[in-house]
Structure 1
Amino acid sequence: MTPEFLKEFDILMQDEGAYSNNPKDPGGETKWGFSRRWNPDIPDAQWATWSREDSKQRAWDRYWSAYRLDEIKHRRIQHQLFNMGFLCGMKPIVMCLQKVLNKLGEFVTVDGIIGKETISAVNRYRNEMALDAAMESEIAQYLMGLPKKNAFINGWLSRNDRDWGENKA
């Protein structure tokens, strides 16, 4: 696990917390950011003792490493992909990035996959402030398009817009 991942995981856990079982949460029971409903492959015995360390390993495997986030040179984009991808699923957030890249003249396929094409395009783009602002806006548009019955939308919008100090361009 890289220092960038460990820092982002700590930021993520500030929002996610240790345990939640909010009846309005479509994920249901949640431990350290992972919901029982969306992670049915976790055996009952393991779920009973699910820890922050278990979540850290799963976040590394399923989000950071699988989506090659260490290859993204823009820290704020790493943050947005990881944090918002954790909330909404990586594919729609990666598609937000790909749409932004296209709008900024770095033409890539909008497929929700972070491959060589997307990594090269995002790393080539030099105006990190413009990229950050465009990404924030695209994610907000995506969130606003979610069903209004989502009780968490306002918190997610705030989370998307939050300035995390050095992560902000």
Structure 2
Amino acid sequence: MDRNFDRALALVLKHEGGYVNHPKDPGGATNKGITIATFRRYVNANGTPDDLKRITTAQAGIVYRKQYWDAIRGDELPDGVDYAVFDFAVNSGPGRAAKYLQAVVGVAQDGRIGPATIVASKAKPAGAVIDALCDARLSFLKRLKTWGTFGKGWGSRVSSVRFEALVMIKAAPPAPAKPVPAPKPITPPDASQRLPTPAKRGFWAALIAFILKLFGRKGK
């Protein structure tokens, strides 16, 4: 269930922006954060730079789902954690994002999110996982040689991701309440268990009195 994919994608695209061809960006020209090579791999094998400039949000969604969201198993991670890992993956690669999440939740750092990572992520408070992951991500970015050029934007992005991811926790629907069993119907006692009515009690009392009186006369 991709409950948060559309929302997470919209937030990612805000940070990625439009067409950019920065000379110091090792990724080369991008649009909506997507390179021409990635565009050709997932959208159009014969795509041109002009096609990349005209990429639609729907086409971008195909790329981000296949290359990042599915890679980090976003549909299985807790609310908020899914977006924090997703944005990290878009910015620095799914393998690195997975390893940093695994370090935070205390499982083997193999760079592939599997059942053990999912279980461990759900076992910890989502807010604590998000904070620790964003802290570790920011520390990683500050060690890069390109921090001087892109650091201000990266720092702002991580801060925004932290905020939005924490908001997702609060917006998550509450867990369904356990159904309360209906009370058992009260079964009325059968005739043998019912108390005698006043009329019946009077009848039996009169009968007993008559028998005692009868035997009393014979005794005389």
Contact kept, 8 Å, 2:36 with 2:47, in 1: the verdict is no
Distance in 1 (CA, whole Å) between partners of 2:40 and 2:111 is 23
> Which residue pairs with 1:141 in the alignment?
139
Matched, 1:60 2:61: no
> Which residue pairs with 1:160 in the alignment?
158
CA root-mean-square deviation? 2.3
Distance in 2 (CA, whole Å) between partners of 1:39 and 1:87 is 16
1:39 to partner: Cα distance: 6.0
Paired letter, 1:140 = L
1:140 to partner: Cα distance: 1.2
Matched, 1:151 2:149: yes
1:66 to partner: Cα distance: 2.7
Distance in 2 (CA, whole Å) between partners of 1:64 and 1:9 is 9
Matched, 1:45 2:44: no
Larger radius of gyration: 2
> Which residue pairs with 1:111 in the alignment?
110
Distance 1:5 1:27, change over 3 A: same
Contact kept, 8 Å, 2:21 with 2:30, in 1: the verdict is yes
1:25 to partner: Cα distance: 1.5
Larger RCO (alpha carbons 8 Å, 6+ apart):
1
Contact kept, 8 Å, 1:27 with 1:37, in 2: the verdict is no
1:94 to partner: Cα distance: 1.3
Identity across the alignment (%): 26
TM-score w.r.t. length of structure 1: 0.84
Q: Deviations over 1:71-108 (max 9, x none)?
A: 002x2211111112101111111111111112xxxxx1
Distance in 1 (CA, whole Å) between partners of 2:35 and 2:148 is 16
Contact kept, 8 Å, 1:18 with 1:32, in 2: the verdict is yes
> Which residue pairs with 1:93 in the alignment?
97
Distance in 1 (CA, whole Å) between partners of 2:3 and 2:48 is 27
> Which residue pairs with 2:178 in the alignment?
none
Distance in 1 (CA, whole Å) between partners of 2:72 and 2:82 is 10
Q: Deviations over 1:106-132 (max 9, x none)?
A: xx111111001101100111x222222
Distance 1:168 1:156, change over 3 A: farther
